[in-house]
Amino acid sequence: MLKRASILLGVIVMFAVCPLLTPRVSAQRGGMGMMPPGMSGVWNPVIGSGATYEMTGKDGKKTVLTIAVVNKEDFNGHPGFWMEYLISDKDGKQVVMQMLMVKDGLSMSMPRMVIQAPGQPPMEMSSAIMGMMASRGGGAVPTAPKPDAREGGENLGAESVTTPAGTFECEHWRSKEGSSVWIAPNAGPWGMVKMQSTDASMMMTKVFTDAKSHIVGTPVSMDSMMGGRGRGQE
Identify whether 234 is part of a domain: no
> In terms of Cα–Cα distance, which of 147, 79, 143, 87 is closest to 113?
143
Domains of the chain: total? 1
- When pLDDT is averaged across residues 36-50 and rounded to a whole number, the result is 80
Q: Would you say residue 39 lies in a domain?
A: yes
CA distance 214 to 154: 37
- Flag whether 224 is in a domain: no
Q: CATH no. for residue 107?
A: 2.50.20
Which range, of 22-26, 66-70, 171-175, 189-193, averages the lowest pLDDT? 22-26
Helix axes 2-17, 127-136, angle to 10 degrees: 90
Model pLDDT, residue 20: 37
Range of the domain at 104: 2-212
Lowest mean pLDDT among 49-53, 76-80, 145-149: 145-149
Question: What does the pLDDT look like over 78-110, one tens digit per residue?
Answer: 899 999 999 875 667 788 989 999 988 778 888
Whether residue 191 is contained in a domain is answered as yes
**Per-residue confidence (pLDDT) for residue 52, from 0 to 100:** 94
Q: Is 80 part of a structural domain of the chain?
A: yes
Instruction: Compute the distance between CA of residue 217 and CA of residue 204 in angstroms, rounded to an integer.
Output: 30
182 occurs within a structural domain: yes
pLDDT, mean over the chain: 78
Residue 118 pLDDT more than 80? yes
- Looking at residue 31, its pLDDT comes to 34
- Write the burial class of residue 131 (CB in 10 Å: 0-12 exposed, 13-18 middle, 19+ buried): buried
d(Cα 25, Cα 42) in Å, to the nearest integer? 16
* Reported confidence tier of residue 27, pLDDT bands at 50, 70, 90: very low
Strand order in the sheet with 123-126: 154-163, 166-174, 180-183, 192-196, 200-208, 50-57, 62-72, 80-88, 94-104, 107-116, 123-126, 220-221
Query: Which one has a higher pLDDT value, 149 or 155?
Result: 155
Is the distance from CB of 146 to CB of 106 less than 8 angstroms?
Answer: yes
The DSSP string of 81-137 is: EEEEEEEE-TTS-EEEEEEEEEEETTEEEEEEEEEE-TTS--EEEEHHHHHHHHHHT
Task: Tell me, rounded to whole angstroms, the distance of Cα 56 from its chain centroid.
Answer: 16
**pLDDT value at position 126?**
82
Q: Higher model confidence: residue 2 or residue 208?
A: 208
Residue 94 has what pLDDT?
82
Question: Does residue 219 form part of some domain?
Answer: no
**What does pTM read for this prediction?**
0.77
Position 85 in a domain: yes
Rounded Cα distance between 68 and 207, Å, is 10
Cis peptide before 37 (omega within 30 of 0): yes
Between 2 and 100, the more confident residue is 100
pLDDT class of 72 with cuts at 50, 70, 90: very high
